Amino acid sequence: MTIEIDEVTLKLMRIFQPETLGRREAAMAAGTRFVHYTSASAATSILRGPHVWLRNATTMNDVSEINFGNSRLIAGLGRKSEQVAAKKFWVLLGELNSELPDKIVALYDGWVDHLRMDTYLFCLSEHDDAEDEIGRLSMWRAYGGAAAIAIVINPAPMYSYTDALSAYAYPVIYCAPDDQSSFQLLVSRMEAELEFLKTQSAETLVDHLFECLQSQAICSKHLGFKEEREWRIVHQPKHQPNERLKSSLVDVRGIPQIIYELPLRDFPEENLVGLNLNHLISRIIIGPTAFPLAMYDYFVRLLEELKIDKAHERVFLSNIPLRT
């Protein structure tokens, strides 16, 4: 189940987040499912929880990802940038409201350290039907080790507009460090809809501009990773605290850290459905391993214990041969 958003909000999203909204609408139209590649032990933890861990952005595989988006944003759209798009951006903001440029700068500068240090993520990839039997070899090689698992999920919760968990799904935008196309698109949309934007309150504009800037900072990634087709579930506890997400102190491969547990259950009264395991789990694919049959039996039994319908029909062995 998804919910509708009003036409004004949708129009503002088309102006300020055209790439994000475009990717979302394309995925929805295609019925795209999503997949999380992980280890068998982590998959067990997710299913038994049932919850997923949102981990701090600073603990991601490639620490450079943390700064990539923010550095690109400052270079391409910062107030001191010499880029044409940046100069036009600040002129347009001033035309909308003379106080808007200073408000945006103050807000973003006040939150930039939180964006770096207080952003918690769970990562998924788009999943094609053609991958149902094999998974994606590049992801098997990168995640999971000798007992790798792919948890394929049905997409309804990814497309829901809801504040039930204060955790939001964003597609990753892949680009070269000097790619200006995102900023040029933003400015062209603002310029084309300037008269409409003048009808909006300063508060509304600030909210959408801040969402635009932070999504560019948090969800931009180097073009070399494009094949991952990643989406990120993002939670910022200082910006939008939510008592349903509990924090814990854990040790992940010897690195002590804080995580937030996102519960896998529905909140229908707040338009979030399809997150319970019985509806969420499309299939579990067991990656290339020396112990395929033992792992198959294990995950069928685990799903049965968790009262997942037709457990044996949801577990599959990847037919990619194990390379020894």
Higher pLDDT, 238 or 262: 262
Residue 2 lies in a domain: no
Residue 11 lies in a domain: yes
**Mean pLDDT, rounded, for 260-279:** 96
Instruction: Supply the range of the domain harboring residue 236.
Output: 7-317
CA–CA dist 188, 194 (Å, integer): 10
Residue 301 lies in a domain: yes
Residue 1 lies in a domain: no
Residue 39 lies in a domain: yes
Residue 300 lies in a domain: yes
Number of domains making up the chain: 1
Closest CA to 176 of 115, 103, 225: 225
CA–CA dist 50, 59 (Å, integer): 22
Q: Each residue of 276-316: pLDDT tens digit?
A: 999 999 999 999 999 999 999 999 999 999 999 999 999 99
Residue 324 lies in a domain: no
Residue 45 lies in a domain: yes
* DSSP state at residue 308: -
What's residue 42's pLDDT? 94
What's residue 1's pLDDT? 39
What's residue 239's pLDDT? 87
Q: Is 214 exposed, middle or buried (0-12, 13-18, 19+ CB in 10 A)?
A: buried
